[in-house]
Structure 1
Amino acid sequence: MTDGEGGKPVYSITVTDAFAASHALRLANGEVEPLHGHNWEVAVTVATVDLDRMQAVMDFHDLQAVLGEILRPWRNAHLNECVPFKDSGVNPTAERVVWHIGTCLAEALPEGVAVESVSTTEAPGCTATYRPAASFS
């Protein structure tokens, strides 16, 4: 894979984590579905065109620590009562879960490293992925 401008390669790394949490989605007709829980499996991939001084995208442990901090408030929690879902009108769908993780992750990454994708599997065979529009310059 290249960045499309000058043909520089794009390097990426992926880490995974998991958390257990419940949610109750507001359905399109305005009703709220029954409260239920999931074991959310999360994978984040970050990328760069310029490796760091260690010749890596970034340290895997650092990325795991950042992801762990993002997920910490949601562990064994009811997502409807957590940021960014509580009192905001943001429905705690799998799509919004990965959006929030990706947004928070982007703010915490070293300069030159960008979020390539964030995925979560809330149930077997059910995966949502967020891919922000990012440029590697």
Structure 2
Amino acid sequence: MFEIEVQSEFCAAHALQIGGVRETLHGHNWRTVATLQGPSLDSDGLLCDFHTVQELLHAILAPFNNRSLNDAPPFDRLNPSAENVARHIHAELSSRLAGLPGDVRVASVSVTEAPGCRATYHTTHDHGGTTR
């Protein structure tokens, strides 16, 4: 199994709902790490071109950059926690990778909102072997 990681950053604010109380709006320099896996390499010896993954991540993150996550779909209706941000990026990247050749999948996406504060969403498999 081969694995690559691609990092990207964006700047955004958010205000979480915790225990029914909304936090004060505050900003972060968010760092994302997408980990991709696959069993084989293409004819160029690549699992997936780093630049392709960077472009996909940039397109996914661009709507959030320099704005409040609370105002940007899907976080205008979903608590913009690091966990939910990681899950959203994972789903979007998985969907966009499905259109590319090869057998590469998103293994995980980690989101760091502040030093020492990271959330990760992993691909899961049900008992039938289906990836979710």
Please, what TM-score do these two structures have when normalized by structure 1? 0.86
Give the distance between the partners of 1:121 and 1:85, measured in 2 at CA: 17
Residue 61 of structure 1 aligns with which residue?
Answer: 51
1:132 CA displacement: 1.3
Counterpart of 1:118 (choices 103, 109, 113) is 109
Residue 88 of structure 2 aligns with which residue?
Answer: 100
SS of the aligned residue for 1:118 comes to: strand
Percent identity, aligned pairs only, is 44
Corresponding pairs, count: 125
Structure 1 residue ranges, 4+ long, deviating more than 3 angstroms after superposition: none
1:131 CA displacement: 0.4
SS of the aligned residue for 1:56 comes to: coil
1:24 and 2:22 are equivalent in the alignment = no
Letter in 2 for 1:120: V
1:52 CA displacement: 1.6
1:78 and 2:68 are equivalent in the alignment = yes
Give the distance between the partners of 2:11 and 2:91, measured in 1 at CA: 20
Considering only aligned residues, what root-mean-square deviation do their CA atoms show, in Å? 1.7
Give the distance between the partners of 2:119 and 2:69, measured in 1 at CA: 16
1:100 CA displacement: 0.3
Cα deviation 1:102-136 (Å, max 9, x = unaligned): 00000011341111111111011101111011569
Give the distance between the partners of 2:43 and 2:87, measured in 1 at CA: 30
Structure 2: gaps spanning 5 or more residues = none
1:83 CA displacement: 1.2
Structure 1: gaps spanning 5 or more residues = 1-9
Cα deviation 1:57-96 (Å, max 9, x = unaligned): 111100100001000000001000111111x2x1000000
1:53 CA displacement: 2.2
Bigger Cα Rg: 1
Letter in 1 for 2:51: H
